[in-house]
Chain A
Amino acid sequence: MAWRGEIDLGTPPAVSQAMVTLTIDGRRVTVPEGTSLMRAAALIGTSIPKLCATDSLEAFGSCRLCLVEIDGRAGYPASCTTPAAQGMAVRTQTDRLKQLRKGVMELYISDHPLDCLTCAANGDCELQDQAGAVGLRAVRYGDGANHLDQAKDSSNPYFDFDPSKCIVCSRCVRACDEVQGTFALTIEGMGFASKVSPSQSEPFFSSECVSCGACVQACPTATLIEKKVAETGTPDRFEVTTCAYCGVGCTFRAEMRGEELVRMVPWKEGKANRGHSCVKGRFAWGYANHRERILSPMIRASIDDPWREVGWDEAIAHTASEFRRIQAEHGKRAIGGITSSRCTNEETFLVQKLVRAGFGNNNVDTCARVCHSPTGYGLKTAFGTSAGTQDFDSVMAADTIILIGANPTDGHPVFASRLKQRLRQGAKLIVIDPRRIDIVRSPHVEAAHHLPLRPGTNVAVLTAVAHVIVTEGLVDEDFVRDRCDRAEFDDWAAFVADPRHSPEATESLTTVPAESVRAAARLYAKGGNGAIYYGLGVTEHSQGSTTVLAIANLAMATGNLGRAGVGVNPLRGQNNVQGSCDMGSFPHELSGYRHVSDDAARAMFRALWGADIDHEPGLRIPNMLGAAIDGEFKALYIQGEDILQSDPDTRHVAAGLAAMECVVVQDLFLNETANYAHVFLPGSTFLEKNGTFTNAERRIQRVRKVMRPLNGLEDWEITQKLAQAIGYAMAYDHPSQIMDEIAAVTPTFAGVSYDRLDALGSIQWPCNDAAPEGTPVMHLDGFVRGKGKFVRTEYVATEERAGPRFPLLLTTGRILSQYNVGAQTRRTENSRWHDEDRLEIHPHDAEQRGILDGDWVKVASRAGDTTLRALVTDRVAPGVVYTTFHHPATQANVVTTDNSDWATNCPEYKVTAVQVGRSNGPTDWQERYDERSRRSRRIEGVAAE
């Protein structure tokens, strides 16, 4: 649609049931008590001139442009800071007001460069607009002191800071404080000397700024402006779409000029992000046009050969021929597919349909296998629902928040900003994490309790918390009686009450002081609305599923379910982890989490798909690789995943892939997995396709095509062509038809359609006739499975234990600027913040090994070894080391082992026994892999760089 700015009502909405009626310029308006006069006027279409006010920030009252007159009151109050009152009569435009505003504006403009025609914000500048609105036609003040010679700061790769254009309205500072919660900006100096300062007058790039873009969005001039806008010009159209990074699912206005993306601006109406963003979604989309993107299909007979570019028809026909040949020779269960949590619901649904109906087996899995598969298992067991219970808005009603195994300021930054807002309002925080993550103590936020547990002891800690709740009489008896299975509760309560589960008894195991556990348990149980948020630090353990069950036990025992402000909230890693699981990507489940052994469900699919569905589970990703090594699994269609880099025990993954006869990778780039592929099908970016993503709060949101796919096809079209080529009919014209089919076969999606999504903006499943607009908070009156199920959570130590040979415990995670395997973010300027993975090691452990900050070190486990540089820090406890896995050169997963969650095979990334020592250079594996990687990426007729 044609570009237009978003409507700005000047101040945030008031939250009040009481209403007041007043007149503004003779027009009656009724608004909630506490609404500003500026907002009340805007609601009836009257725009009062303003500069320092915007409806994403609390009123500030500094610019003096929004003055009004009120009957019976002296002076000219600022409409942004004056609340509407019953019977008030307000005038927004009088001769005196015009004179005052023009005088104020004249002063602003007297210290502003008059370069509007060549300014990057020309046509999209509030200062320019307001000068026009107040009728400023001349500036009487001549030469004098000014700020016009202030130097521009271009250090940030994505935006410029030009203080010569600054009007010191403080919108950027307030956005950093109120919206983002980083407090990186301040106003330095006083009076005429006042100026915006990142950190201690540092360049933006080296300051504490996290480049979320909130300041740029808030700036009413060109002082803070995207470099891309300066280069390209202002946009002329936009589409609302959904970010393809983390599971928060921020919606953005993709603002375009022609087919060129000018900028991504967080959409104020977005219910997941409420107008906020992070450095990835806001700025890191340049990978879509990166020179390394592959746009032509390629095939090769052997993984040792160079690639040969071919047309789509040849690539698809070759792939289908190979799949059919292999099934004929090795049986129909010898091939499979992997869906991607980075792809849309429609695309993942189609891949699993291809596998189940086209290949005739259930060998389909997804990357949730390696992240949140224990969430699906645990929450389905406890509640009957494989999903989180709340919407993100719920956090604003929480009083006590447990954050366990999650680092949202890095992994889910936009949710972290909401969380910090609530903490600044007074909610209490309990962090359970081996590392002192940033949110434990950051500006204006400090955790009430940090339980720095020993990696691998989540179950012991949470069972100790349950022990305190039960033995100290903190159980919500009414909730348990009404909502849960009583016999199972009694059994569980007796189990956790055993003294061996007390905080004192488990302290030597967990290393968490018993009194901290007791204090945290009391706070969670009796500290008002208690909400639990968790991440991969919960799931990626040998007892990941048990920890999810332990979390569900705590929520039920304390009655913290079924209303706003409470709940069990898994923070999903990738943008569509929830959706890919919903769509039937697991080898044992059809869409909507119905087991393949369910005769009625299979019959429904058979009727619609015209194909029998195997009633037995297929292989999971690690089992596919094992079966390949054993000669039982020969071909794999991988859409949008890089299992060689992301999955554990890299050597095992490589051996499995190398053992297959036809590996097909569909991706944007020649990723690490493609080193072992025989067919490469170029994929499309989220900007080039239509579809939907489902975020961590079960919110289904539209992905809208803003440009044609550079590779020629949307990903669902590629899968459809492949299905047709193997002889299974698919004939969709548009992803909306795929969604219609999803709705027809998936009860949780029964009421979902593109029309309804367009009308409502987004829908949280379940969505059906009884809940036509979706379900923000689940389990209001009961659980899907009937009664909530308590499950005993016996702590079982992982087999991965530190010892003399491998005395340290390695845990892995991510960082703000990079995303997962880095395929996207490494191909953006984000790498300037994080151009390598580093090993965090405690000063004590470093000193014992003679390691200095920045030294190259070798990390060795029983699975393998790799080298990277050390970062000596006390963020990690003694005995624990930590690294990220964003860079293929590091090969962090060479070190991780094949240990996995007992129920789901989710890898135990978070506990690997290692030894660390100084190193002179890359390991043999790294050198061999680097050579293979370079050879594997050769393309006939294309010179290597």
Chain B
Amino acid sequence: MSATTDKLVRMVNQIATEFEGQQPGNAVAATWDHLWHFWDPRMRDRIVTHLDTGGEGLSATSRAAIARLGSRAEPQSQTRATEFGVDADGNTESDAG
């Protein structure tokens, strides 16, 4: 395993472990969503390839999330949390309320 792949394996396992604690029952989807929104395509491709070639070192949650990543389905954009000053009717408002 190359140093980069080894690092990616550690990273995805970290993410999966965190979501197992945060969202029991939803850890696979949360890990998949995170990888999609924060990882460069090259990193994703490399970890998918690693899974396809045996996936040494990957946790069960990591494996399931990466398998979903390989399906190329896209999760929803995360932007909702960052909209400022736009109410339900599209009018601007201050975050100060």
Contact = CB atoms under 8 A, between A and B. Distances in A.
B96 A768 contact: no
Given A386-B82, A792-B22, A780 B11 contact: no
Contacts of A777: 96
Contact of B37 (A543, A595, A601): A595
B60 to A, nearest CB: 16
Nearest to B2: A630
B54 interface: no
Given A384-B81, A630-B4, A799-B10, A766 B42 contact: no
A39 to B, nearest CB: 32
A784 to B, nearest CB: 5
A478 B95 CA distance: 21
Interface in B20-41: 20-23, 34, 37-41
A363 B77 CA distance: 19
Interface string A627-641: 101101000000000
Contact of B83 (A543, A623, A784, A903): A784
Interface in A884-901: 898, 900
A588 B40 CA distance: 9
Interface residues of B, number: 39
Interface string A883-923: 00000000000000010101111000000000000000000
Contacts of B82: 380, 384-386, 589, 592-595, 784
Contact of A616 (B2, B17, B41, B79): B41
Interface string A748-784: 1010000000000000001011110001011111101
User: What's the dominant secondary structure at chain A's contact region?
Assistant: loop
Contacts of A847: none
B49 interface: no
Contact of A770 (B7, B17, B78, B93): B93
Interface string B61-97: 0000000000000100111111111100000111111
Given A384-B82, A781-B97, A792-B21, A626 B92 contact: no
Contacts of B23: 792
B15 interface: yes
Contacts of A385: 82, 95
B40 A778 contact: no
A626 B7 contact: yes
Interface string A581-618: 00000011100111101110100000000000000111
A588 B77 CA distance: 11
A409 B95 CA distance: 32
Given A770-B94, A784-B95, A601 B40 contact: no
A766 B84 contact: yes
Contacts of A571: none
A556 B20 CA distance: 23
A791 B19 CA distance: 10
A617 B37 contact: yes
B87 to A, nearest CB: 10
Contacts of A769: 92
A356 B60 CA distance: 36
Interface string A787-827: 00001111010010000000000000000000000000000
A747 B92 CA distance: 9
Contact of B15 (A598, A619, A779, A903): A903
Given A599-B77, A903-B38, A778 B85 contact: no
B17 A796 contact: yes
A779 B97 CA distance: 7
Q: Name the residue among B7, B20, B42 with the largest chain A CB count within 10 angstroms.
A: B42
A748 B77 contact: no
B66 to A, nearest CB: 16
A381 interface: yes
Q: Name the residue among A384, A562, A770, A905 with the largest chain B CB count within 10 angstroms.
A: A770
Given A747-B84, A766-B95, A775-B96, A902 B37 contact: no
A64 interface: no
Contacts of A623: 40, 43
A766 B94 contact: yes
A587 B42 CA distance: 13
B18 interface: yes
A588 B42 contact: no
B96 A778 contact: yes
Contacts of B96: 766, 770-771, 775, 777-778, 780-781
B18 A546 contact: yes
Q: A-B pairs with the 7 shortest C-beta distances?
A: A794-B21, A781-B97, A771-B94, A770-B94, A902-B14, A593-B82, A598-B79
Given A380-B81, A777-B96, 20 more contacts: A333-B42, A384-B82, A546-B18, A588-B37, A595-B77, A617-B38, A620-B40, A627-B4, A766-B85, A766-B94, A775-B94, A775-B96, A779-B95, A779-B97, A792-B23, A794-B22, A900-B11, A902-B11, A902-B18, A905-B11
Interface of B: 2-4, 7, 10-11, 14-15, 17-18, 20-23, 34, 37-43, 74, 77-86, 92-97
Interface of A: 333, 362-363, 380-381, 384-386, 542-543, 546, 562, 587-589, 592-595, 597-599, 601, 616-620, 623, 626-627, 629-630, 632, 747-748, 750, 766, 768-771, 775, 777-782, 784-785, 791-794, 796, 799, 898, 900, 902-905
